[in-house]
Amino acid sequence: MTDENKQRLDSYIEAVNRRIDIYKNSYGGNSSDHQYEVTQAMWYSLEAGGKRIRPVLAEEFCRVCGGSSEQALTAAAAVEMIHTFSLIHDDLPCMDNDDYRRGRPSCHKAFREDTALLAGDALENLAYRIIADDDKLSAEKKVMLIRELTEAVGIHGMIGGQVIDMYNDGTEVFSDEKLLKMYMMKTSALLRAACRMGCICAGAYDRADDAGNYADRLGLAFQIIDDILDITSSEEVLGKTCGSDAASGKCTYAAVHGVKASEEYAAVLTDEAMTYLERFEDNKFLIWLTEQLLHRKS
Amino acid sequence: MTDENKQRLDSYIEAVNRRIDIYKNSYGGNSSDHQYEVTQAMWYSLEAGGKRIRPVLAEEFCRVCGGSSEQALTAAAAVEMIHTFSLIHDDLPCMDNDDYRRGRPSCHKAFREDTALLAGDALENLAYRIIADDDKLSAEKKVMLIRELTEAVGIHGMIGGQVIDMYNDGTEVFSDEKLLKMYMMKTSALLRAACRMGCICAGAYDRADDAGNYADRLGLAFQIIDDILDITSSEEVLGKTCGSDAASGKCTYAAVHGVKASEEYAAVLTDEAMTYLERFEDNKFLIWLTEQLLHRKS
């Protein structure tokens, strides 16, 4: 069973990677042009071997809702482009100033800072463009997908969460309420979009709320595990700078409540997430994936 | 006649400003939240009193194509959000490092650098969101508008032009071909989107190409006049740092060919632009506006 799940996971990752490669050829610049530099930076970060959690969720929710996982590939790639854009901008010197990402120099270290800035801007743009350009999606679906994605990205979603995180510099002790709100915006919002967009691609609009409620809990658990790993893991395993939260005096759930209590809360959130998965038939892979994410080491 | 044109110009600017104000209330954050800081930065730059050329063009092309100017307000505001996002990111220290914009401190000077970065990201996102959210537009029109806008913004448009401009630091003498290609991407692309989107809002899809061809020439002329003003104007009149092109060794059309030849070329381009305007009935305002833009002092 685990082998079967692992195979499905790999095939989903391969499928979205292939799609991202196709976009490189159709939207990437010509190698003789200066703008090729930014195209290279965009795909350097896109192809950095992330876990592709968001694309996998979009593909699988599309399948369990009666579509084929291929139908969700445009949405899956779009969400991954948004995620990558956010990582590139997040790593910039004026933000978290992180030199490493996924075991490699972060985008502004591998390229120039201005190149990284524009690569992020261009990825944000391209995410919406590939949805609008997809001939296989109806205009109604395209609009629904773009609404989901823009709402998840904006000031009340991912970007808003990053803003709150900017003020999380040790000068203010965040209440649990504020901390969890920040996690919901910074992490859950885009996972929610991925899951809901998978349902939309399948035409199963009435399943989007259950998928979104699952993603909210998954995102909180995922972020809390991120906090824990920042305390307990090593740079080698994690592929990025460790202990950076503590060094910058950041308030995190794990820092406030300790590793053990945080692991317990992540498990509670995962249980809640599972109750939403139970509303979907053929949910074995999603249950397995959720467990994997809870027990990850990087 | 001039009074009538001026009145129309003012009413168009007022209309898009009102619309931008409505979006502030519906999409802006709550004043008690941290993300309000970024909302403030977004509208600080959006409301900085720009010339609103792009919104005005969208509104007027919609009207001359048989629609009402109001029908184009969502598209007009979206284009202005994209324009403002590009200015905010362009002014950042890692880009042009400009401290002033439109006579006021640039966004990252009035706010924090990270706030300005995220305000730009959020404006890019909001531009697509307001189109997707507009109940008065059909799904087909929304998709057409988003396709126009994403194409104009991306790596082969505005952002691509900014990339080429990054390498315009005095180390390479740009050929006229390369310089004009950069201007087409950096400046014409978004003007083209504004004009074409105006036609689309009116449902006059077959007029978009003439509008776009007009905008290409207008953009080139506009950019060359910008170069000239950077040489001949003062900070007081221009509202931003002067002589910055020469100081940074930037290759511009005016720097290469001199002010007089540049003024003549801008006039030739304007004549070409006018031939496309002649294909539209009721084109008096557009002709007047184009002449105004050629004779501007700031």
Q: Which residues contact B203 (CB under 8 A, 6 or more apart)?
A: B65, B66, B67, B141
pLDDT of res. B232: 87
Q: In the predicted model, what is the mean pLDDT of residues A270-285?
A: 96
Q: In this complex, is the C-beta atom of B247 within 8 Å of any C-beta atom belonging to chain A?
A: no
Residue A166 burial (10 A CB sphere; 0-12, 13-18, 19+): buried
DSSP B35: T
Q: In this complex, is the C-beta atom of A24 within 8 Å of any C-beta atom belonging to chain B?
A: no
Chain A residues inside the 8 Å CB shell of B123: none
Q: Which of residues 161-200 of B touch A (CB under 8 A)?
A: 162-164, 166-167
Q: What is the three-class DSSP state of B119? A: helix
Please, what is the angle between helix B208-232 and helix B284-294, to 10°?
20
Q: In the predicted model, what is the mean pLDDT of residues A103-118?
A: 95
Chain B residues inside the 8 Å CB shell of A154: 27, 122, 125-126, 129
SS (H, E, C) chain A: CHHHHHHHHHHHHHHHHHHHHHHHHHHCCCCCCCCHHHHHHHHHHHCCCCCCHHHHHHHHHHHHCCCCHHHHHHHHHHHHHHHHHHHHHHHCCCCCCCCEECCEECHHHHCCHHHHHHHHHHHHHHHHHHHHHCCCCCHHHHHHHHHHHHHHHCCCCHHHHHHHHHCCCCCCCCCHHHHHHHHHHHHHHHHHHHHHHHHHHCCCHHHHHHHHHHHHHHHHHHHHHHHHHHHHCCHHHHCCCCCHHHHCCCCCHHHHHCHHHHHHHHHHHHHHHHHHHCCCCCCHHHHHHHHHHHCCCC
Set out the domains of chain B in order of their start, with CATH numbers. Answer: 2-294 (1.10.600.10)
Question: Which of A37, A125, A138 is the closest to B150 by Cβ?
Answer: A125
- Average model confidence (pLDDT) across chain B: 92
Closest residue, chain B, to A140 (C-alpha): B139
CB contact under 8 A, B166 and A115: yes
Alpha-carbon distance of A94 to B117, in angstroms, equals: 8
pLDDT of res. B167: 85
Could you report how far apart the first and last alpha carbons of chain A are, in Å? 23
CB contact under 8 A, B164 and A35: yes
With cut-offs at 50, 70 and 90, classify the pLDDT of residue A234: low
**Confidence check: pLDDT of A220 > 70:** yes
Yes or no: say if B85 and B124 are a contact pair by the CB < 8 Å rule.
yes
Q: In the predicted model, what is the mean pLDDT of residues A238-248?
A: 65
Phi, psi of B127, rounded to the nearest 5 degrees: -55, -45
DSSP B278: T
The ranges of chain B with pLDDT < 70 are 1, 29-32, 234-244, 246, 298
pLDDT of res. B1: 64
pLDDT of res. B145: 98
> pLDDT per residue over A38-73, tens digit each?
999 999 999 987 899 999 999 999 999 999 999 999
Tokens 């006059």 appear where? B204
Question: Partners of B100 in the beta sheet?
Answer: B105
pLDDT of res. A123: 98
The vertex-B275 CA angle with B270 and B278, nearest 5°, equals: 125
Yes or no: say if A180 and A220 are a contact pair by the CB < 8 Å rule.
yes
Residue A295 Cα, gap to closest chain B Cα (Å): 32
Question: Which of A113, A151, A155 is the closest to B39 by Cβ?
Answer: A155
Q: In this complex, is the C-beta atom of A272 within 8 Å of any C-beta atom belonging to chain B?
A: no
Yes or no: say if B94 and B161 are a contact pair by the CB < 8 Å rule.
no
CB contact under 8 A, B147 and A162: no
Report the 10 Å Cβ neighbour count for B151.
20
> pLDDT per residue over A153-201, tens digit each?
999 999 999 999 888 888 888 899 999 999 999 999 999 999 999 999 9
Q: In this complex, is the C-beta atom of B89 within 8 Å of any C-beta atom belonging to chain A?
A: yes
Alpha-carbon distance of A270 to A218, in angstroms, equals: 6
Alpha-carbon distance of A21 to A49, in angstroms, equals: 13
ipTM of the complex as predicted: 0.94
Q: Which two tokens stand for residue B149?
A: 């806008």
Chain B residues inside the 8 Å CB shell of A128: 128, 146, 150
In one-letter notation, the amino acid at residue A175 is S
Question: Partners of B101 in the beta sheet?
Answer: B104
Q: Which two tokens stand for residue B169?
A: 């630091």
Q: pTM for the whole thing?
A: 0.94
Q: In this complex, is the C-beta atom of B90 within 8 Å of any C-beta atom belonging to chain A?
A: no
With cut-offs at 50, 70 and 90, classify the pLDDT of residue A149: very high
Question: Partners of A104 in the beta sheet?
Answer: A101
Chain centre distance of CA B129: 19
Q: In this complex, is the C-beta atom of A21 within 8 Å of any C-beta atom belonging to chain B?
A: no
Q: In this complex, is the C-beta atom of B97 within 8 Å of any C-beta atom belonging to chain A?
A: no
User: What number of C-beta contacts closer than 8 Å exist between A and B?
Assistant: 165
CB contact under 8 A, A154 and B117: no
> B246: left (phi > 0), else alpha (psi -120 to 50), else beta?
alpha
Q: What is the three-class DSSP state of B101? A: strand
